Every structure is written in structure tokens, then in C-alpha cells.
Amino acid sequence: MRRPLLFPLLTAGIVLVTVLVQAGGRHLQDDKTPIIVSAAISLTDALQAIERVYRAAGGGPVSFNFAASNVLARQIVYGAPADVFISADQAQMDYVQNAGAIVVQSRRDLLCNRLVIVTPSGRSALVSGPRSLLDARVRRIAIGDPAAVPAGAYARAYLERAGLWESLQPKLLPLANVRAALAATESGGADAAIVYESDAAASRATEIAFTFGRADGPPIIYPAAIVARSKNRAAAEKFLEFLKGNGARGIFRRFKFGVPDGAP
């Protein structure tokens, strides 16, 4: 007479144990599975340095996907796996947000940057300011593609404000991303490049010839957000929070990134 009652209790117990084991298995899997951070290529050196500190502090594994922000934005919108997106401008983050591909409440302005003109090492005296780019000795100027790449769009805005954009058109060499523009100058394929200050800081084969003032163009802001389809949101939130902390910000400053006004 007791077996009908005992059997459901045993069955319920087995189900409960199974659920707990599965839940525990998922937790362990989350701890071991890297979160994927799709980040603007200009962040490569800084984020790799931060990741080492994060892991040493007990953070979980992180895998990076570095590319031009416009490329990353389209990857995310079209369903590529990612947990965190860090863009080099607001426009690409707006594009992803308008597609419903980020958690809007998680979006924050993380960093700021400046543009500089670099030349191959030993040739910085050739460029004393933007108007020096008109000099006949400056034959090719590498920039990120202004039609797609944030660094290129920023460069165009600065040059337009200086009244130089049209005059410099024959010299401009638009490339796929800001690191490609830097590499063109490092190799001597370009006589100058307009890149982020953070990129110039990572280069040993170029020199900064001129630094644009922040008031001479649009603010260069790097927003960050959790991707809506993240499969490991808790770990993604943990890493994004770490990027706001003093330890990470110290590393960002070492690589010449700043913190936007009003950022928490």
C-alpha cells in the first residue's frame, strides 16, 4: 500500500538531484568558457594587458575579437557570437542598439581618445600641424576609411574643420582600419598617418608630429555594452565592471586612453 506513495517521492528526489547536478554543471561550464569581447582594434594592446591583470585577480577567461568597429557592429547584428561590444564611436554602437542587439541598460561611455599625426621615425619635423600635410614632400597620408571606420570619420571631421579636407583628397590613402593606417606609416608606405594617440603609443617605428586638440573636432568616445544574445551575461557584466575600476583605468591611461567627462 505504501509503494504508490514512495515511488513518486523517490522519482521527485531523483529529478531534484538531476536538476541540481545539471545546474552545477552549467555553473562550472560558465567558469571555464571564455566570454567573447568584440572590441575596436585600437584597444588591442590595452585590453590584452588588462586581461592578464583580470585573470590574475580571479576573473574568468576572456577571448578577444579585434577589428574595425563597423565590421564588429555588423558581425553582432548578423548573429556572430559575442558577449561584450566596445566600439570606437557612438555611431556603430547606435547601429547595434537600433537593431536590438545590445542590452541598452548596460551601455556606458567607457573611454575617450585623441587623434594625432604620425610620421616614420626621424621625420616628424616635416609636420608641424595639419597645414603641413599640404607640403609636396608629404605624398601619401594614411587614414582609416572615412566612409566606414571611426578613426577615418574623426579624421575627416577634423580636416574639414581646418578647411583642408578637399585639398588633401589626392594624398589620402583610406585603409580598412586605424592599425592598417599606422602600419602603412611604419613601413614607409605613407609619409604620414592620422591615428589615435593610443595607437601611436604602441608604435616604435613612428613619431607623433602633431596632436589635435579635443576642441578641434568631435569628441572621440568609446561606448561599451553587453550583447543581447550573450550566453554568459553574468561573466560579461563582471568583466565590463572591471573595466571601470581603478586597476583597468590605470592601464588604459598608460596606453593614452582617457576617461570621458561624467563617466562613473
Give tens-digit pLDDT for 45-94: 999 999 999 999 999 999 999 999 999 999 999 999 999 999 999 999 99
Residues 6+ apart with CB under 8 A from 84: 35, 36, 37, 38, 39, 224, 225, 226, 227, 230, 236, 239, 240
Task: Point out the least confidently predicted range of 27-41, 185-199, 203-217.
Answer: 27-41
Task: Please say if the pLDDT value at position 11 is more than 80.
Answer: no
CATH class name, domain 115-212: alpha beta
pLDDT given for residue 180 in this prediction: 97
Rounded to an integer, the average pLDDT of 173-192 is 97
33-112+221-254 under CATH 3.40.50.12280, yes or no: no
Cα–Cα distance measured from residue 236 to residue 60, given in angstroms and rounded to the nearest whole number? 10
pLDDT given for residue 246 in this prediction: 95
Sheet with 172-175, edge to edge strand ranges:
172-175, 141-144, 192-196, 115-120, 206-211
**pTM assigned to the model:** 0.86
Q: How far is the CA of 245 from the CAs of 26, 110, 229, 239, in angstroms?
A: 28, 11, 25, 10
- Across the chain, what does the average pLDDT equal? 89
pLDDT given for residue 28 in this prediction: 35
Cα–Cα distance measured from residue 119 to residue 103, given in angstroms and rounded to the nearest whole number? 40
Domain boundaries, the chain: 33-112+221-254, 115-212
